[in-house]
Structure formats: C-alpha cells, structure tokens
Amino acid sequence: MISAIPSYDLYGESGSAAAQFWVHCETIPSRSSLHHFEIGMHRHVHFFQILSILSGSGDAIFGDRVVRFEPPAMITIPPGVAHGFRFAPDIDGHVFTILSGRLPARPDEPSPIGRFLAEPRVTCLDDTAAPAIRSTLNTVLSEWAGRRSQWAIMVEAGIASTLALTARAAALDVREAQGGDENDRRMEILSTLVQREVRNHRPASYFASALGISPTHLNRIVKVKTGLSTQAFLAERLLEEAQRALLFTGGSVQDVAFRLGFSDPAYFSRFFLRQTGVTPRAWRLQEQPKLGAREEGLGLNHG
C-alpha cells in the first residue's frame, strides 16, 4: 500500500492547522542539506511556493513527471500539488512560501496569470528576465528580513512582480516551442557543428555564438527539442563518440581518451563513469560480446 503524501507548511516541520505565517523565505541549502539534498514528495495545502535557482542543478518531481532544471530558473508550485526535489550539492537560491490568498491572482482564475499559477512549472530565464527577477527578489528578501515599516506591502508587491515576470518568461518559452521551423533549422546546424567539434570540447557559448543567439536562448531551444540542457546535450554527443570508439577500435582506453581530445585519461574515465555508471573498460567488456552476438545473428561473422 502506497503511503499518503504528507502535507506541510514548511517541509519536514509539523505545525498547527492554522499557519503561523503568511510568507517565509529561506535559502535552498539551509533545508535541503539537512535531508542530503533530497526533498521527498509532499504538498502544501494552503501555500504557493517559488524557488529561485541561482546556481547548481537538479530535478523537480511533479507527481510522476520529472523536470530537469539548471540556473537561472524559477520553479513555481501551486497549493495541493505533490512535489519533491533532487538537488545537486552545489545548489544555491531561495525558497519563498506564500499563503495562496496573498497571491496577485487565484490559481484557478481564468486569466493569463491565473492559468500560469495553476500548474507546477520550471521556467528558464533569459538574460533579460534573470536580472530583473533577481533584483525584485532581493528587495523581497531585504524587506522580509528587516521588517521595516510597510514591509508586508513591499513583500506582497515584490512577489506579485516576480510572478508576473516569471509568467512573461514562461510565455516566451511557449513561443519558442511554437517557432518550429526556425528552431528545427537551428537544431540541424547545432548537430552538424557538434559532430564537427566534438573532440574540441567547445562550451555551449561557442555554439550559441555560431548560431547568432545567446546561450540562454540556445538552452531554451535545445530543452524544447530534446528535453536536455545544452550542456547535457553536448555531454551526450561526446559520450556517443566515446562509446563508438571503445566498441569499434582496438586502442586502449587511454588511446580513446587522447583521440577524443581528453588530455587526462583519468578525467575521461570520470566523465564516462558519471554519464553511464561504469568505467570505460567495464563498459567495453560488457558491450563487445553483445556486438559479436548481433553480428552472428545478422550473418556477419563468417570466421
């Protein structure tokens, strides 16, 4: 029997039926580090949550859906939605927990902002949205910590502005997804460039510059088309090249590492282990017999 998903005002804290606060702010590491950077599935009955991701990465789990996030990004979760997180240890950012009645609109109201608030979301931020949202949230943090005169009005206004800016950025994400032809063309060019440059270990900014767009814009397109960040997409292509070399060439793991542009074979092994869970040598020993069996089945092994 599946246990019921717990409800909290703040994760891991038991509280009375009536919340003792209407807004709460804290850093992401302050709570997640106590739980080995894994926040189990839970929900907030009366509260809306905003997570501002400044650095580090992770997975947001919304029910049975897992959404990868990388900075800069905003995560918004309406009341009642079961959710959890897996954070990288270098995560940094803030969590804002707000009584749903203090939001700029009801999450079920038939308006653009209401529809935005009604669904759990991970929103990537571009070079325009990120600084504006960061500045607004810094004001919220300062007012909440200082409790100066009229602080509640300032905090409520700052949260409303933050959600409006995030909703605007999310709408841009949707427009990117709908710009099919142009983005398909960019993905074709990107794939060709990556194939050509895979051994040179180019950063994402190199490919963004080649396409004439910002790294954030490129990340959004790659995410829409593949479900991966640009960095993860590049790592996947490098891994495919490594696996091909390990399987179809007779060189040592060190030879393969040098052929793929790694100056340090140990770093290549760590990269491969991180991507696959096994070392290059172990993967080769595991996969080569399968290759032979496939060739026999196709009548390619004539001895």
- Predicted confidence (pLDDT) per residue in 160-186, tens digit: 999 999 998 888 655 555 555 688 888
Beta carbons of 90 and 33 less than 8 angstroms apart: no
Nearest to 157 by CA among 44, 18, 23: 23
Q: Which residue has the tokens 């069996």?
A: 293
Nearest to 44 by CA among 66, 21, 67, 64: 21
- Predicted confidence (pLDDT) per residue in 43-95, tens digit: 999 999 999 999 999 999 998 899 999 999 999 999 999 999 999 999 999 99
DSSP state of 175: H
Tokens of 262: 């790694």
- The pTM (predicted TM-score) of the whole model is 0.61
Q: What is the pLDDT of residue 3?
A: 53
Q: Work out the pLDDT band at 295, boundaries 50, 70, 90.
A: very low
Does residue 196 share a domain with residue 171?
A: no
Output the domain CATH number for residue 67.
2.60.120.280
DSSP state of 275: H
Does residue 196 share a domain with residue 79?
A: no
Nearest to 28 by CA among 54, 6, 62: 54
Does residue 190 share a domain with residue 173?
A: no
Would residue 54 count as lying in a domain? yes
Domain boundary among 126, 154, 178: 178
Residue 108 has pLDDT above 50, yes or no: yes
Q: What is the pLDDT of residue 140?
A: 96
Does residue 172 share a domain with residue 31?
A: yes
Does residue 164 share a domain with residue 50?
A: yes
Would residue 112 count as lying in a domain? yes
DSSP state of 43: B
Give the end-to-end CA distance of the chain in Å, rounded to a whole number. 55
Would residue 303 count as lying in a domain? no
Would residue 32 count as lying in a domain? yes
Helix intervals (H) in 53-150: 112-118, 129-146
Beta carbons of 123 and 174 less than 8 angstroms apart: no
Does residue 210 share a domain with residue 170?
A: no
Least confident span in 209-213, 273-277, 295-299: 295-299
- Predicted confidence (pLDDT) per residue in 2-36, tens digit: 458 888 888 877 654 445 789 999 999 999 999 99
Q: Which residue has the tokens 């140990």?
A: 266
Residue by residue, what is the 3-state secondary structure of 276-292? HCCCHHHHHHHHHHHHH
Output the domain CATH number for residue 268.
1.10.10.60
Q: What is the pLDDT of residue 104?
A: 87
- Phi/psi region, residue 109 (left: phi>0; alpha: psi -120 to 50; beta: rest), is beta
Helix intervals (H) in the chain: 28-32, 112-118, 129-146, 151-178, 180-197, 204-211, 215-226, 230-248, 253-259, 265-276, 280-297
CA dihedral 257, 260, 261, 263 (to 10 degrees): 0
Does residue 214 share a domain with residue 92?
A: no
Domain boundary among 144, 162, 178: 178
Does residue 213 share a domain with residue 173?
A: no
Does residue 271 share a domain with residue 135?
A: no
Domain boundary among 178, 198, 224: 178
Does residue 287 share a domain with residue 172?
A: no
Domain count, the chain: 2
Integer Cα distance of 153 and 160 in angstroms: 11
Would residue 11 count as lying in a domain? no
Does residue 74 share a domain with residue 41?
A: yes
Q: Residue 95 sits in which domain range?
A: 23-178
- Predicted confidence (pLDDT) per residue in 211-269, tens digit: 998 998 898 888 888 888 999 999 999 999 999 899 888 789 999 999 999 999 999 99
Does residue 39 share a domain with residue 159?
A: yes
- Most confidently modeled of 34-43, 169-178, 187-196? 34-43
Would residue 94 count as lying in a domain? yes
Q: Are strands 23-27 and 92-99 parallel, antiparallel or unpaired?
A: antiparallel
Sign of the CA dihedral with 288 first, then 270, 220, and 43 last: positive
Burial class of residue 153 (count of CB atoms within 10 Å of its CB; 0-12, 13-18, 19+)? exposed
